[in-house]
């Protein structure tokens, strides 16, 4: 299986990678235009806004005039991004002058938005029909629980209680692909990327899952562009408001069920209608929030004696901590463990780096210790780094070994030749043997054959 | 008082306080280059575009009237769908109230808007946002001002400017009137904002989006209008005249246009001025 390093690629990268036809079709939806605009780098946003009411191609030079010298790289990034997303179309005329034209569809939608203000994708249901709507806090808790349950299900199907009802086993397989690997009959094991996945924050994890979900959509007979537009549209709904399920198409209804399992939305059933309530996970979908707005409260306290106390009732947290600590006691609301060399060696061999482990401990530090600097004691972080460097004491270099030189002259010349390329790793003048790096093996052979 | 930078959102999330001049004397005068309704529609589009740029962007609008000022819009409250309606309704209520206040009072000569009041209101609400919640957007103030400077507000406005400078809030100024505004020139100069007097007010929206929609993060690498010359003249504390030369209290730095026996601000007694033959006027500090 190819080793794919998990990068929390965001939604828009995926949109950008869509074929041109589909992309143009996506821009027919005003919400997509809005979401795309919001995802752009600040400078690119400015360019779009500036050109919003200009229908003729604009010379690249006149855009660049706005930028100071040290912003040139930012300018290039912005323009590349705009072209990549087909928001800008690039023309080069006969005088070799580059001009840009804003995508007319995109332009029209945004103009409309600016004149009429934002509109909601669909009207929320009246409060008298929807009884007992959850409060925002309840909704957040629900979303977190549902997501955790899903993760637990993902990493060890046996551990999870049967709360995730409808995610089909085949769907689960899709998500697990790349995260778990089945070796012989020993039951699934987390792969390197699986471990890294668990240490990412919720938003990054969500990206990964949603990405898999979208890229797999064609197999389920759902057009990926439709799915993307629905997901983006979903992010413009208001958190905590109820929306009638009847306003959705059939495909969207099945999607909504899947998303409910992930905790993106909550489904409720009334006497006559049923409705869905988007949670914060769904409304944050289109903005890639990497900063602390989404950060949950931490729960881990690490002491200088390598003891680790995690105030958590969650099984998932326990599973994650098990990755690099020995769990000693498990009390109703507290997990006590210790960070040991053996556990960390195991983690390192699973592909977790010391920085990942440390940043996990720091990010999830209990509020009481989070105020302290550093939140994880320095001796612990240093030791974790030292343990990692212990494993890297030997450096491997592919090399070739030469011996049986016909004469000392040839041997000396060969040594000098290798030195010139700074590829001589070892020499033994007495027995006339030497070792060189693999890169110059070819040159070395040529050189020696000329010597003869 | 100083804003805590770690509490700010990483990138280009902005909080924009827009101060709109609703002075009826200005908008009805011949100095107004475009009708108020045209002006308003361009500004509303601009507000929409700011809110469009980032989900977390926040806009507050304060109306600056002749005798009062008030918040007329806050994007963090209320639904997104009826933005314009609620703003216009509040604006109308405000204008009526402002007019009522006017009846008790006779209009002074120039009829300038209460800029000092709205600036302080803007700074107060920025402080409130600084102190509430864990994360706050980067604030800036945009003054859309048309009527003439009221020299009577000099001290209050200067104090607001310095407090904005202290809390690192830039004041952008977009002057709609026919004359430059010395107050706003100084405000933008001191706080590091942009001062612009658009040439063609029909294209106000384009000016607003190209210059004033730029977030603080991007400003560091963009070429924005530079101040061409700032009118640094001060107003005297006694008659509120704008003066080039004057007397200045050596204790509290109050400025006077004529010689007084003692300082009206801090009460220090002044000596006799020197004879007219020598230079009897000290230059005021720039």
In a domain, A1, yes or no: no
Whether residue B241 sits in one domain with residue B161: no
* A118 at interface of B, judged by CB pairs closer than 8 A: yes
In a domain, A125, yes or no: no
Note down the domain range covering B190: 10-219
In a domain, B228, yes or no: no
pLDDT of A154 > 60? The answer is: yes
Q: Which residue of A has its CA nearest to B136?
A: A293
In a domain, B275, yes or no: yes
Whether residue A315 sits in one domain with residue A269: no
- Closest CB to A65: pick one of B54, B205, B223: B223
| Confidence band of A370 (pLDDT split at 50, 70, 90) | confident
* Mean pLDDT of the B251-271 span: 84
Question: CA-to-CA distance for A236 and A232, rounded, in angstroms?
Answer: 7
Last residue in a domain, options A283, A317, A346:
A283
pLDDT of A175 > 90? The answer is: no
CATH number at residue B100: 3.40.50.410
Q: Higher pLDDT residue, A83 or A205?
A: A83
Whether residue B197 sits in one domain with residue B240: no
Element (H, E) at A50: helix A42-50
**pLDDT at residue B134, as a whole number:** 65
In a domain, B134, yes or no: yes
Determine the angle formed by the axes of helices B36-53 and A104-116, rounding to 10 degrees.
Answer: 120
| Confidence band of B268 (pLDDT split at 50, 70, 90) | confident
Whether residue A403 sits in one domain with residue A384: no
| Confidence band of B98 (pLDDT split at 50, 70, 90) | confident
Whether residue B145 sits in one domain with residue B102: yes
Q: Higher pLDDT residue, B247 or B82?
A: B247
Whether residue A438 sits in one domain with residue A326: no
Element (H, E) at A269: strand A265-269
pLDDT of B68 > 50? The answer is: yes
- Is A185 buried (19+), middle (13-18) or exposed (0-12) by CB count in 10 A? exposed
**pLDDT at residue B2, as a whole number:** 35
Which residues of B lie closer than 8 Å to A, measured between beta carbons?
9-12, 45, 48-49, 51-56, 79-81, 83-84, 134-135, 205-206, 209-210, 213-215, 217-218, 220-223
**pLDDT at residue B62, as a whole number:** 93
* A55 at interface of B, judged by CB pairs closer than 8 A: no
CA atoms within 13 A on the CB side of B258: 6
**Contact at CB, A293 and B135, closer than 8 angstroms:** yes
Probe site for chain B from A10, A33, A34, A42 (most B CB atoms < 10 A): A42
pLDDT of A452 > 70? The answer is: no
Whether residue B202 sits in one domain with residue B125: yes
Whether residue A307 sits in one domain with residue A279: no
**pLDDT at residue A294, as a whole number:** 45
CB atoms within 10 A of CB B84: 18
Tokens 């995109």 map to which residue? A106
Could you read off the pLDDT of A220-278 as tens digits, one per residue? 777 777 888 888 888 777 777 788 877 778 878 888 888 887 788 888 777 777 788 88
**pLDDT at residue A292, as a whole number:** 40
Q: Higher pLDDT residue, A217 or B211?
A: B211
- Closest CB to A49: pick one of B49, B51, B134: B49
In a domain, A337, yes or no: yes
Last residue in a domain, options B166, B186, B219:
B219
Whether residue B81 sits in one domain with residue B117: yes
Probe site for chain A from B6, B9, B16, B218 (most A CB atoms < 10 A): B218
Q: Higher pLDDT residue, A416 or A158?
A: A416
Whether residue B237 sits in one domain with residue B97: no
Domain count, chain B: 2
Whether residue B42 sits in one domain with residue B72: yes
Residues A56/A107, Cβ–Cβ less than 8 Å: no
Whether residue B151 sits in one domain with residue B178: yes
In a domain, A288, yes or no: no
Note down the domain range covering A224: 136-283
Please tell me whether residue A330 adopts helix, strand or coil conformation: strand
Domain count, chain A: 4
Beta bridge partners of residue B145, listed in sequence order:
B175
In a domain, B27, yes or no: yes
Q: Higher pLDDT residue, A14 or B150?
A: B150
Dihedral sign for Cα atoms in the order A371, A372, A377, A381: positive
Whether residue A107 sits in one domain with residue A152: no
**Contact at CB, B221 and A71, closer than 8 angstroms:** yes
Last residue in a domain, options B219, B246, B275:
B219
Q: Phi/psi at B269 (nearest 5 deg)?
A: -85, 135
Whether residue B42 sits in one domain with residue B133: yes
Q: Phi/psi at B171 (nearest 5 deg)?
A: -110, 110
Give B-chain residues touching A234 at CB under 8 angstroms: none
| Residues whose CB falls within 8 Å of the CB of residue A93, separated by 6 or more in sequence, listed in order | A99
Tokens 């399992």 map to which residue? A261
In a domain, A291, yes or no: no
CA atoms within 13 A on the CB side of A75: 18
Probe site for chain A from B7, B51, B52, B137 (most A CB atoms < 10 A): B52
Residues B198/B170, Cβ–Cβ less than 8 Å: no
| Confidence band of B170 (pLDDT split at 50, 70, 90) | very high
* Mean pLDDT of the A102-113 span: 88
* Mean pLDDT of the A404-423 span: 87
Whether residue B75 sits in one domain with residue B50: yes
Whether residue A278 sits in one domain with residue A149: yes
Q: Phi/psi at A282 (nearest 5 deg)?
A: -75, -45
Q: Phi/psi at B43 (nearest 5 deg)?
A: -65, -40
**Contact at CB, A68 and B223, closer than 8 angstroms:** yes
Q: Which residue of B has its CA nearest to A109?
A: B52
Alpha-carbon distances of A353 from A195, A199, A213, A321, rounded to whole Å:
10, 11, 28, 14
Lowest mean pLDDT among A13-17, A76-80, A346-350, B142-146: A13-17
Whether residue A107 sits in one domain with residue A170: no
Question: CA-to-CA distance for B114 and A361, rounded, in angstroms?
Answer: 54
Last residue in a domain, options A63, A87, A116:
A116
* Strands A98-102 and A58-59, bridge-based pairing: antiparallel
Last residue in a domain, options B192, B219, B246:
B219
CATH number at residue A91: 1.10.10
**pLDDT at residue B109, as a whole number:** 56
Residues A307/A321, Cβ–Cβ less than 8 Å: no
In a domain, A163, yes or no: yes
Whether residue A279 sits in one domain with residue A142: yes
What is the average pLDDT value for chain A, to the nearest integer? Answer: 79
| Confidence band of A178 (pLDDT split at 50, 70, 90) | low
**pLDDT at residue B178, as a whole number:** 83
Could you read off the pLDDT of A300-349 as tens digits, one per residue? 899 999 999 999 887 888 888 887 889 898 888 899 999 999 988 888 88
CATH number at residue A415: 3.30.70.2610
Q: Which of A 29-48 lie inside 8 A of B, CB atoms?
A: 34, 37-38, 42-43, 45-46
Report the percentage of chain A scoring pLDDT > 70: 85
Q: Which of A 204-263 lie inside 8 A of B, CB atoms?
A: 238
In a domain, B226, yes or no: no
Whether residue A158 sits in one domain with residue A232: yes
Whether residue B61 sits in one domain with residue B201: yes
**pLDDT at residue A187, as a whole number:** 57
């Amino acid at each position: 299986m190819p080793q794919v390093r998990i990068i929390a690629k965001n939604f828009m990268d995926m949109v950008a990678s869509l074929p041109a036809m589909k992309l143009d079709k996506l821009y027919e939806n005003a919400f997509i235009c809005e979401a795309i605009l919001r995802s752009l780098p600040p400078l690119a946003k400015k360019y779009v806004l500036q050109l919003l009411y200009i229908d003729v191609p604009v010379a690249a030079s006149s855009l660049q005039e706005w930028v100071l010298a040290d912003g040139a790289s930012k300018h290039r990034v912005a323009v590349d991004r705009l072209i990549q997303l087909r928001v800008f179309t690039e023309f080069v005329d006969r005088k070799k002058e580059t001009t840009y034209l804003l995508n007319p569809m995109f332009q029209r939608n945004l103009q409309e938005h600016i004149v009429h203000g934002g509109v909601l994708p669909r009207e929320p249901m009246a409060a008298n029909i929807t009884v007992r709507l959850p409060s925002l806090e309840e909704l957040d808790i629900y979303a977190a629980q549902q997501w955790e349950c899903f993760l637990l299900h993902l990493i060890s199907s046996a551990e999870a209680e049967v709360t995730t009802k409808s995610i089909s086993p085949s769907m689960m397989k899709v998500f697990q692909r790349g995260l778990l690997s089945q070796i012989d009959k020993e039951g699934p094991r987390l792969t390197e990327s699986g471990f890294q996945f668990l240490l990412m924050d919720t938003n990054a994890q969500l990206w990964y899952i949603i990405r898999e979900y979208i890229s797999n959509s064609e197999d389920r007979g759902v057009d990926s562009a439709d799915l993307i537009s629905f997901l983006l549209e979903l992010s413009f709904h208001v958190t905590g408001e109820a929306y009638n399920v009847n306003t959705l198409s059939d495909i969207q209804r099945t999607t909504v069920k899947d998303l409910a399992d992930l905790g993106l939305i909550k489904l409720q059933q009334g006497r006559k209608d049923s409705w869905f309530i988007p949670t914060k996970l769904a409304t944050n979908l289109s903005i890639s929030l990497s900063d602390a707005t989404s950060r949950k409260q931490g729960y881990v306290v690490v002491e200088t004696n390598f003891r680790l106390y995690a105030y958590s009732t969650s099984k998932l947290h326990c599973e994650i901590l098990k990755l690099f600590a020995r769990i000693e006691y498990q009390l109703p609301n507290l997990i006590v463990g210790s960070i040991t060399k053996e556990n960390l060696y195991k983690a390192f061999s699973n592909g977790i780096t010391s920085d990942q482990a440390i940043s996990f401990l720091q990010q999830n530090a209990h509020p009481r210790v989070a105020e302290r600097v550093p939140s994880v004691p320095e001796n612990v972080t240093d030791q974790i780094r030292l343990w990692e460097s212990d494993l890297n004491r030997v450096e491997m270099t592919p090399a070739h070994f030469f011996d049986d030189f016909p004469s000392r002259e040839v041997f000396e010349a060969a040594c000098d030749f290798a030195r010139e390329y700074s590829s001589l790793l070892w020499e033994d003048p007495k027995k006339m043997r030497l070792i060189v790096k693999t890169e110059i093996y070819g040159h070395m052979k040529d050189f020696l054959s000329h010597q003869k | 008082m100083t804003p805590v930078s770690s509490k700010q959102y990483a990138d280009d999330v902005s909080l924009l306080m827009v101060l709109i001049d609703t002075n009826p004397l200005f908008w009805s005068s011949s100095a107004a280059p475009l009708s108020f309704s045209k002006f308003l529609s361009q500004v509303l589009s601009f507000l929409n575009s700011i809110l469009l740029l980032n989900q977390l962007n926040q806009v507050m609008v304060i109306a600056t009237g002749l005798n009062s000022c008030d918040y007329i819009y806050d994007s963090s409250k209320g639904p997104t769908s009826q933005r314009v309606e609620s703003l216009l309704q509040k604006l109308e209520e405000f204008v009526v109230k402002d007019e009522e206040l006017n009846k008790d009072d006779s209009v002074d000569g120039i009829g300038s808007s209460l800029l000092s009041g709205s600036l302080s209101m803007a700074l107060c609400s920025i402080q409130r946002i600084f102190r509430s919640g864990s994360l706050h957007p980067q604030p800036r103030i945009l003054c859309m001002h048309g009527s003439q400077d009221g020299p009577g507000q000099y001290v209050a406005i200067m104090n607001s400017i310095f407090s904005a400078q202290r809390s690192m809030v830039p004041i952008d100024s977009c002057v709609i009137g026919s004359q430059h505004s010395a107050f706003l020139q100084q405000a933008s100069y001191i706080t590091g904002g942009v001062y612009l007097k658009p040439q063609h007010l029909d294209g106000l929206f384009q000016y607003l989006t190209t210059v004033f929609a730029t977030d603080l993060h991007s400003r560091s690498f963009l070429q924005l209008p530079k101040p061409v010359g700032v009118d640094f003249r001060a107003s005297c504390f006694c008659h509120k005249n704008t003066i080039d030369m004057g007397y200045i209290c050596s204790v509290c730095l109050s400025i006077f246009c004529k010689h007084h026996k003692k300082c009206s601000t801090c009460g220090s007694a002044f000596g006799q001025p020197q004879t007219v033959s020598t230079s009897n006027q000290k230059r005021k500090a720039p």
